[in-house]
Chains A and B, each alone.
Chain A
Amino acid sequence: MDTFCFGFQAMGSGCEVVLVSTSNTEAQSIAALAIEEVSRIERKYSRYRSESIVSRINAVAGVEGVKCDDETLALFKYADILYSSSGGLFDITAGVLRRAWDFRSGVVPDEETLAPILALIGWKRVERHGKEVRLPLAGMEFDFGGFGKEYAADRAASIMHGKGVRHGYVNLAGDIRVIGPKPDGSPWMIGIQDPRNRERTIASLPLFTGALATSGDYERYFEVDGRRYCHIIHPRSGYPVAHWRSVTVIAPLAVTAGSHTTIAMLKEADGLGFLQESGFGYFAVDRLGQIYHKDV
């Protein structure tokens, strides 16, 4: 019995599938199924893929609706609950803000640039009738990036479990879903990256099963006049959030963990209360480097 690790690229980042198996051949065939599931989800939901259902709906925004399959409808339903549970902060129509925020150029947009973009944000305006989903205004767009990766981690883990894997995990760029502990029953130790030093981890959290996800202000950002502008943008102000350096949540599913980290980031100072109420374990570092944690 050995532990096999398969690295691959998906959703623009480094990913890995780790499983315990008796043979390399078996491990390979199971890992291939898991990796294929991740790329299926990427093909289906990435807004960067023109053939994805998300791109197809975005392409006809303001014109017509698109009939969706059950999986997509389930994800929209989840997005609806994300929106209501976060007081409107987690909005899958907020991705348009990337038109104003170019993290390569490092330019802070002014109010005039942001205003017309903010007018295109609003999950509540999305029309959903039966299986048809329609964006009411030209220029509006969906972005499943907020939970697509986590959903893929859960699905891939589920497939591996279905193939008999009892020890291993799926790690999609830090969104981790554990299938089961190491073969001896001990937990996988998961390092939490130091948000201000790429070479270091600031904590090591044991995980037997369940999932762990981290959101941080260090993934994509630029700094102007000493202020950091990260990729997590408040859907109403149009400006990046600044309260947390990083938020890690441990929950049964990667989708749940990831959604909680994002909402906590978006809620800024209120994020701590939100994490507390969620009942899940968390590990958060605020803008001053102060650490808050519970049950980790």
Chain B
Amino acid sequence: MRLKSKKRSTLLGTALATAAMMLPSVQFASADVAPERGIISFKYLNYSERQGALGSSSSSSGSVSESKEVEDKIEKESGSKKENAVWVDLVSGASTLTTATPSVVTPSSVSSTTGSSAQDRISVNAYSIMAMAPIAGKWSIATTYIHDSVSGASPTYHTSGLTHMKDTRDVADVQLTHYFSSGNVAVGTSYSKESDYLSKSYSLQGSLSTEDKNTTFTLGGSITNDTITPKTQPNVTSKKDINAALFGVTRVLSKNDIVQLNIGYSKGEGYYSDPYKYYDNRPGKRNNTTVMGKWNHHFDGSDGTSRTSYRYYTDTFGIRAHTLEGEYVQPLKHGWTVAPLLRIYTQTEADFYVATSAAEKANPSVVTTPSASAVYYSEDQRLSAFGALTVGLKVSKQLNPDWLVDVKVEMYEQRSDWALSGHADTALASFSARSIQLGISREF
């Protein structure tokens, strides 16, 4: 975020400054000083899932894998949020600092059969507090703390064998950015802890703009070290190391159009299996490549902005995924903004995914056995082929130049027969999720 500038502690402190604001229409929107101010925000997120026709529950040993999945989403979304914020600034010229937001949705898998009675599954309550402050005009520091608690039941194989689980997670991260005339450099670190999972990450990212400032190149890298100590195997400590790199080009096409292309590559080595599932032995390496194109367009007539993006993902597990997303942000009178969103997702199954057998289809309490020759295997529904749809709406209101409140609701539906490619395991139950996020932020 280009926060180049000044902290204005007593911005409207003087009667004189306030009086100037009262003059007939000398100011517009709330575009005056936003990028030069600090911000603190608080968000609350409630997420819950439902899935039809599940088998009976089994042992009550803690399970974290499912929660890990959901939580990863929280973090991922918050990351992309920040990115979006930068984008909007560029297009509109107005500027609202968006916060690291725990906004879930897209639990990238889980799935299902067409069952009759739906059951509640995982639910997450997350709280986050984020603060950003510009320093001396050339630096900014941003920090986020998230606490969330996950509870519910997660299947041990396919969509059956529910295991109850409960866990909490604490995440803290800090990022320091230095701005100079042709770009910026940011260093960051993050720390995440839950009862059986510890993750530490370090990142470095730089961006450089061309002389005419119409093109910006971004290059970044990160190192993540995870330590997993499964509750079911208290004496085992496993590790996972991931190195990732990102290259991006952002180009301003016109006053109203900005396009961006990002290519990311990540190389991971270590423990990828899920210790809480039956028949789960995954390769010890997972490399993935992501290509993403974005296009933001500003409509002069309505003053609204559309954001369209397409993302292609492929990894060495054999999963290939496509995500198409469209969002439209419409500012209205009196500080209101509405933003509907639609996201379409499809993925193929992992090479070692074991589909539901005829025997399991006939009797859900039968566990499908991987073939005797299989080296790697998993019955995790998140590695199956499926398609998903997310519909969301965000409404926010700028109460005054300092305070912003927002509400965001997203509904998610996932079905194996919606998979556009790959081999759908139609015996899996369909899956749905809902998330509601409330946020309040203050600039100072």
A interface residues with partner B (beta carbon < 8 Å): 1, 20-22, 70-71, 74-75, 77-78, 81-82, 84-85, 151, 154-155, 157-158, 161-162, 164, 166-167, 179-187, 206, 208-210, 250-256, 259-260, 263, 277-281, 295-296
Q: Which of chain B's residues have a CB closer than 8 A to the CB of A208?
A: 2, 4-5, 35-36, 95
The answer on a CB contact under 8 Å between B93 and A167 is: yes
CB <8 Å contact, A180 and B26: no
| A residues near B300, Cβ cutoff 8 Å | 164
Tell me the complex Cα distance, A7–B350, Å. Answer: 63
- Say yes or no: B209 contacts A184, CB within 8 Å: yes
Residues in B with CB closer than 8 Å to A277 are 10, 13-14
Which B residue's beta carbon lies closest to that of A82?
A: B16
B residues in contact with A181, CB < 8 Å: 2, 93
Q: A1-B255, A85-B14 are in contact. Are A185 and B90 (CB under 8 A)?
A: yes
Most central of A164, A209, A254, A259 by chain B CB within 10 Å: A209
Is the Cβ of A253 less than 8 Å from the Cβ of B26? yes
Contact A20 B255 (CB under 8 A): yes
A158-B28, A161-B31, A206-B181 known; 17 other A-B pairs, CB under 8 Å? Answer: A20-B255, A85-B14, A155-B24, A157-B28, A181-B2, A183-B90, A183-B214, A184-B216, A184-B252, A187-B2, A208-B95, A210-B33, A255-B23, A256-B16, A256-B21, A277-B10, A280-B8
Residues of B8-39 contacting chain A, CB below 8 A: 8-11, 13-17, 19-29, 31-36
- Interface of B toward A, CB cutoff 8 Å: 2, 4-11, 13-17, 19-29, 31-36, 86, 89-95, 137, 181, 209, 213-216, 252-256, 298, 300, 303
Residues on A with C-beta less than 8 A from B20 are: 78, 251, 253, 255-256, 259
**Chain A residues within an 8 Å CB radius of B252:** 1, 183-184
Bound together, the chains give a CA A217 to CA B4 distance in angstroms of 30
Closest to A186 in B: B213
Q: Which one of A22, A74, A260 contacts B23 once the chains associate, using CB atoms below 8 Å?
A: A74
Please provide the 3 A-B residue pairs with the shortest distance between their CB atoms, ordered closest to farther.
Answer: A180-B93, A166-B93, A279-B10
Partner of A166, one of B16, B214, B255: B255
A209-B31, A209-B95, A210-B33 known; A78 vs B213 contact (CB < 8 Å): no
Q: Please name all residues of chain A whose beta carbon is closer than 8 Å to the beta carbon of B24 when the two chains form the complex.
A: 70-71, 74, 155
Name the prevailing secondary structure of the B interface residues: loop
Q: For the complex, what is the distance from the CA of A219 to the CA of B59, rounded to whole Å?
A: 84
A281 lies within 8 A of B35 (CB):
no
Q: Which of B33, B253, B298 contacts A252 (CB 8 A)?
A: B33
CB distance from A164 to the nearest CB of B (A): 4
A281 to B4 CA separation, bound complex (whole angstroms): 13
**Residue contact B253 to A1, C-beta cutoff 8 Å:** yes
Give the chain A neighbours of B94 by CB distance below 8 A: 166, 180
Contact of A22 (CB < 8 Å), options: B19, B21, B91, B255: B255
A21 touches B255 (CB 8 A): yes
Task: Say whether B9 contacts A167, CB under 8 Å.
Answer: no
A77: which B residues are within 8 A, CB to CB? 19, 22
Would you mind naming 21 contact pairs between A and B with Cβ atoms under 8 Å apart? A21-B255, A154-B23, A157-B28, A158-B28, A161-B28, A161-B29, A167-B93, A180-B93, A182-B213, A183-B255, A184-B90, A184-B209, A209-B93, A210-B32, A210-B36, A250-B6, A252-B11, A252-B27, A252-B32, A279-B10, A281-B5
B27 contact set on A, CB distance < 8 A: 154, 158, 252-253
Residues of B within 8 Å of A82, CB to CB, are: 16, 19
Chain B residues, Cβ within 8 Å of A254: 26
Which residues of chain B have C-beta atoms less than 8 A from A210's C-beta?
32-33, 36
In the assembled complex, the Cα of A208 lies from the Cα of B1 at a distance in Å of 13
Q: Which of B28, B213, B254 contacts A184 (CB 8 A)?
A: B213
CA distance in complex: A210, B5 (Å): 12
Complex CA distance for A31 and B7, rounded to whole angstroms: 32
Q: Which residues of the partner chain B approach A184 to less than 8 Å between Cβ atoms?
A: 90, 209, 213-216, 252
